[in-house]
Amino acid sequence: MDARSWAGSVIWSNEDEPLLVRTVTAELRLDDQGGRVLSDVGLFGSRLDIRFGWAEVKKVERLRFCGIPILGEALRITLTKNTPTANQRGVFGGAFTFGGLMRKRTTAQMLDFAESKGVKVQRKALFAFSYDP
């Protein structure tokens, strides 16, 4: 079984609370079946446990904050609505951004992994003013 994991921060908002954007330190794990974003309790009691299969991933995009390479890169992962598992507190649909002070090589590893599972990836960096989904 091929599996990788990375530490960083994740930014997301729930569909039922679109104006409340949350940020926590999290771990992104990718394996043959899909992925999981897992965090401890963050700001305002936010805990994140998103599991997804590769069939639920619409696309993965590479982001660069303000176009300045030294500020790091991030990935925006867009999902279809997935079905909750026993540990999940609801259905997650939409996008989340995983990143921080990641280097281009790190985001390339993540993109390679996702692409090897048949996911549509955007390798050219999109410039963003923030990492909000």
In a domain, 121, yes or no: yes
- Express each pLDDT in 45-77 by its tens digit: 567 788 888 988 999 999 887 655 566 788 888
Between the two ends of the chain, the Cα-to-Cα distance in Å is 30
In a domain, 16, yes or no: yes
Which residue range is the domain that position 42 belongs to? Answer: 3-128
In a domain, 87, yes or no: yes
In a domain, 133, yes or no: no
Q: Which residues of the chain have pLDDT under 70?
A: 1, 13-22, 41-46, 66-71, 81-93, 128-133
Q: Minimal CA–CA distance to 4: which of 125, 117, 84? A: 117
Quote the pLDDT of residue 85. 45
- Spatial separation of the C-alpha atoms in residues 105 and 13, rounded to whole Å: 27
Quote the pLDDT of residue 17. 63
In a domain, 68, yes or no: yes
- Work out how many domains the chain is built from and give that number: 1
Q: Minimal CA–CA distance to 46: which of 16, 18, 24, 14? A: 24
Q: What is the CATH number of the domain that holds 34?
A: 2.30.29.30
Quote the pLDDT of residue 33. 92
Partners of 57 in beta bridges: 79
Quote the pLDDT of residue 86. 40
In a domain, 24, yes or no: yes
